[in-house]
Amino acid sequence: MTDMVVSVASGKINDIVVCDLNKEEDNYGEADLPMGILPNSGELVFLQMDGDLSQEEFKQAWDYNMEAAQVVHEMMVDALKGGESQ
């Protein structure tokens, strides 16, 4: 296995871009940007945008997702190794 897909989402709520939307924020917020990322290569395997984001907001949501994907990926690898760092 060379990589694992990590799924993350950011979005806009009350004109503020946030990472890791909950159900209500996703359903009633102004926009969301879910992404599927291969963290080792940085490849994008899924991208969807619902709602409207400016170019700056899109970039901020993109950056949040890429950073969060790295953190989640580390946790996934650790869990597969039996939680050695816990």
For the stretch 34-55, pLDDT in tens is 999 999 999 999 999 999 999 9
Helix or strand holding residue 37 (H, E): strand 31-38
Task: Give the burial class of 2: count Cβ atoms within 10 A of its Cβ; 0-12 exposed, 13-18 middle, 19 or more buried.
Answer: exposed
What are the tokens at 50?
């619902």
Beta-bridge mates of residue 7? 36
Q: Are 77 and 36 in contact, with CB atoms under 8 Å apart? A: no
pTM, to two decimals: 0.88
The domain spans of the chain are 6-80
Q: What pLDDT is stored for residue 2 in this prediction?
A: 85
Residues of the chain with pLDDT under 70: 84-86
Half-sphere exposure of 52 (CA within 13 A, CB side): 2
